[in-house]
Amino acid sequence: MKYFSLFFLAIISTALTANSIFSFSGMPYRYYGCDVYSMGMGETGISDLFRINTDYYNPANAVSTNQVTFATGIGMGYIWYLDNASNSYRDDGLYFPYFVIAVPLGNHKIAFSVNTISSGILENQGTNFWNGYAYEEINKISANIYKADLIYAFKNRIMNIGLAANYYIGHRIRYWELDFVSSTLNDVKYELDREFKNPGFSFGLNKKFGNLAIGMTYSTASELEEEIEFNYYHPPYTDIIEHDYTFMLPSQFSGGLTWRFLSKYKTSFDIYYEKWSETDTYEKDTFKYSWGIAYDPLSGYGEWYEQIPLRLGAYWRELPFTENGNDIYEKAVTAGISIPLKSPGKQIDLSGKYMVRGNLTDNGMRDRSIFFYVGISGFDIFSKRQRMIEHRDIPEAEN
């Protein structure tokens, strides 16, 4: 079962290893396909047609490119955990959120996108005592869901259309161990390994009306085929139990609008809705609201500091599971800049995010994190430099 995940990671080089204190209850991290430009703008981008937009959560955004486009990014940062017993810990994380490549064929666009869409990773351990015996208790959780999209988009004067065939693959591994210091007592180990995979489908629309652009996306629910393997070691008993199950992903709706004003500025607002109540995974539907504003000056005009694109934004998100019987909310503020390169359409994007998830009063624990992202986009890795000088014969000297 595990070779699927290993092959997937080796080929696409995307991973999400940022942790959360809420990982034992579910998968708290959720990625909606934003590129690094969008991450600095409040994680908006569903409708932004005023740039080469590689946010392919809306597959119709592939119409924004007219050359072979490659985009990827990396994120690094720190996470701080805290509970209401004043236990605290700092961890670090490394994040490869997406890989995108798009190929234009006139008004037809073909694209391939790979994302880590959801995750929950955590490990903790501590020393306890039972009837005078000391033991080390170890708890681990590792959960990821990846998505690969094969996208077709058609640029049309009435409405741009995008279709995506999705394929999901993931795992959730739960490990628990009691390690007794005394050799007279047997150690105990349990591991629950869940592997799941299956296809899905996405549909997107967008359109620009002068200085206003709109976009919307729908993703079908997907019932992931799940294989469960339960390993236990409890001497003199040890065994491996396997059976099949299903893991449901909900249907998802999203919509957004982007308005450009005063020629150099634009603002975006996006809404994401996930219908978890139609699944057996979680019971309530969830929303995410994102907002951002950007300063995008024309290259080559004004002083150097007037040519740097700047972005700010914020978002609010509700998680689909609860902690301590109460809802969990995630809030973040973001900022970003871009470094335009000499070739048109090529740039390096930088962004940062400060995020708080949960609170001590309602949930009994809390995450805080700071992440920094670097992204590249617009690099045509297939084209060759144009030959500017034609072949010429050198004339021979006359006798």
The model's pTM: 0.85
Confidence at residue 380, expressed as pLDDT on a 0 to 100 scale: 55
Per the structure, how many domains does the chain have? 1
Instruction: Report d(CA 167, CA 288) in Å as an integer.
Output: 23
Please list the ranges in the chain whose pLDDT falls under 50: 1-16, 385, 388
- Residue 125 counted as domain residue: yes
- Residue 395 counted as domain residue: no
- Residue 283 counted as domain residue: no
- Residue 389 counted as domain residue: no
- Residue 68 counted as domain residue: yes
Query: Nearest 10 degrees: CA dihedral of 374, 197, 153, 254?
Result: -70
- Residue 124 counted as domain residue: yes
Q: Which residues contact 202 (CB under 8 A, 6 or more apart)?
A: 59, 149, 162, 163, 164, 166, 217, 218, 219, 220
Q: Which residues contact 323 (CB under 8 A, 6 or more apart)?
A: 22, 25, 358, 363, 364, 365
- Residue 275 counted as domain residue: no
Identity of the residue numbered 359: N
- Residue 140 counted as domain residue: yes
Residue 196: which domain range? 3-208+224-248+341-377
Confidence at residue 194, expressed as pLDDT on a 0 to 100 scale: 85
